[in-house]
Amino acid sequence: MRIFDEAKKEMVFEDSIKYWNSGKTREWLDLGIDLIMGKREGYYFYDLDGKKLMDVHINGGTYSLGHRNPEVIQALIEGTTQCDIGNHHFPSVVKAALAKELANVSPEGVSHVIYASGGGEAIDLALKSARNSTGRKKIISIQSCYHGHTGLAVTAGDSRFSKIFLTEGNSEDSVKVPFNDIEAMEEALSKNDAACVIMETIPATYGFPMPKEGYLPAVKALCEKYGALYIADEVQTGLMRSGSMWAITGYGVIPDIIVTSKGFSGGVYPIAAVIMNEKASNWIREDGSAHMSTFGGSELGCIVALKVLEILQRPETIKNVKFVSEYLREGLEKIKAENKDFFVEIRQNGTIMGLKFNGDKSGISVMQHLYNEGVWAIYSMLDNSVVQFKPGILCTKEYCDELLEKMAKGIKSAAEEAASKVKVV
């Protein structure tokens, strides 16, 4: 079946508006992003009309190893010759092997693994685990944070996504404090009634603000002082994107729970995992059937994730993360210097990057201009002045050079447009 050869873009838009998600389809069209994904390979993908795009959104890290990474695809194909989803009630060869490998790549003692089919589901499970472990209900999270759209995850997140479904957290069970404000965190924790603090190590949807020196270890110390668990949402920041398997350990913190998803799937087979220490995983021993998910830890997903972890740990992969991080930083600094009134900040930890521009909606404008130049990077939904810049960790020098050239053009034209608007006003 040739999926893309016969498809007509107008028809796909029409059907999407009629039968899929009209609001979302229109939202992109209104922003001038008339995109239907067609063929894809490595860190490129094509619009159905043939427009070639360099992918530095990579769906939040999902394609960190590239679109249709050949080794990952091969693992999946070979997996299908013997396995299917499996049966979520039983232990299995690949489920056990992947759990053992996750324990191996996580800090000592963070070694009990339960699977999920996606990030939100895994976050819900992490929060439930903290509640069971502490016998407390309250969840402390960060203002403007994002952990997905499932029940507890959406409640813990910004009201942008919970209000519409009447799922906003009430003040008793859900407390939100500003990021990087340790006094506010202590104030929230000092009531001795919180089950956990949940945090993205670097909050992506909020524009990748970097944690202040000492902030994350101080939060962990407060959690210990007041009997709450620390949940590290590593859905976007984990899997070697910082140069370490988990970004949180680079800040000297050993969390009680780590959540991973997105790139864990190799971009080809959905899977997520919650990795817990002894304390956080109490419910497993109390009642192992207390949480279940038919597709969570599907055997094909486990096979793919095992291959992902293998690729991530290769010395050449780790070396390339360093190269991509440094090389792109150098190039972006030049672009920033050329547009200094507009391009105001580069936020970075390894290949986790946020580019901040002048003006409330400037990130949206930069996204549009980059799109015109053939680069796909998305703005941060909870801080529209930031563009999320997430290069793949296997990018080559040639790719980086092409990307920087296009970034320079796109940012320059966005800066010129912003300057012309100021003059008119």
* Footprint of ligand PLP (CB under 6 A): 60, 118-120, 123, 146-148, 200, 204, 233, 235-236, 261
Phi, psi dihedrals of residue 345, rounded to the nearest 5°:
-160, 140
Cβ-proximal residues to 188 (8 Å cutoff; 6+ apart), any chain: 140, 175, 177, 194
Cβ within 8 Å of residue 9, ≥6 positions away: 34, 36, 47, 48, 49
**DSSP label at 197?**
E
φ and ψ at residue 163, rounded to 5 degrees: -55, -45
Q: Which is nearer to ligand PLP, 54 or 122 (CB)?
A: 122
Contacts of 86 (CB under 8 A, 6+ apart): 92, 94, 95, 297, 298, 299
Q: How far is CA 351 from CA 58, 60, 229, 280, 370, in A?
A: 12, 11, 28, 30, 19
Q: How far is the CB of 146 from ligand PLP (least distance, A)?
A: 6
Pairing type for strands 138-142 and 174-177 reads parallel
Q: Per the structure block, which two tokens stand in for 234?
A: 């590593």
What is the residue whose two structure tokens read 């930031």?
A: 386
- Nearest residue (CB) to ligand PLP, 177 versus 411: 177
Query: How many residues belong to the chain?
Result: 425
Q: With respect to ligand PLP, which residue has the nearer C-beta, 274 or 418? A: 274
**390 DSSP assignment:** -
Nearer to ligand PLP, 126 or 228 (CB): 126
Q: How far is the CB of 345 from ligand PLP (least distance, A)?
A: 21
Nearer to ligand PLP, 261 or 384 (CB): 261
With CB atoms as reference, the residue minimizing the distance to ligand PLP is 119
Closest to ligand PLP by CB, 153 vs 177, is 153
Residues in Cβ contact with 90 at an 8 Å cutoff, skipping those fewer than 6 apart = none
Which residue, 156 or 395, has its beta carbon nearer to ligand PLP?
A: 156
**Structure tokens that stand for 400 in this block:** 């980086």
- The residue (of 76 and 232) whose beta carbon lies closer to ligand PLP is 232
Nearer to ligand PLP, 148 or 301 (CB): 148
Minimum distance from residue 153 beta carbon to ligand PLP (Å):
7
Residue number with CB closer to ligand PLP (106 or 339): 106
CB-based contacts of 240, cutoff 8 Å, min separation 6 = 64, 312, 313, 317, 318, 321, 393
The 138-142 sheet, strands edge to edge: 112-116, 272-276, 257-260, 229-233, 194-200, 138-142, 174-177
- The torsion angles phi and psi of 97, rounded to 5 degrees, stand at -65, -40
Residue 147 beta carbon to ligand PLP: minimum distance, rounded to whole angstroms: 5
Q: Minimum CB separation from ligand PLP for residue 387, in Å? A: 16
DSSP 265: G
Q: What's the closest the beta carbon of residue 193 comes to ligand PLP, in angstroms? A: 25
What is the C-alpha to C-alpha distance for residues 29 and 11, in angstroms, rounded to an integer? 14
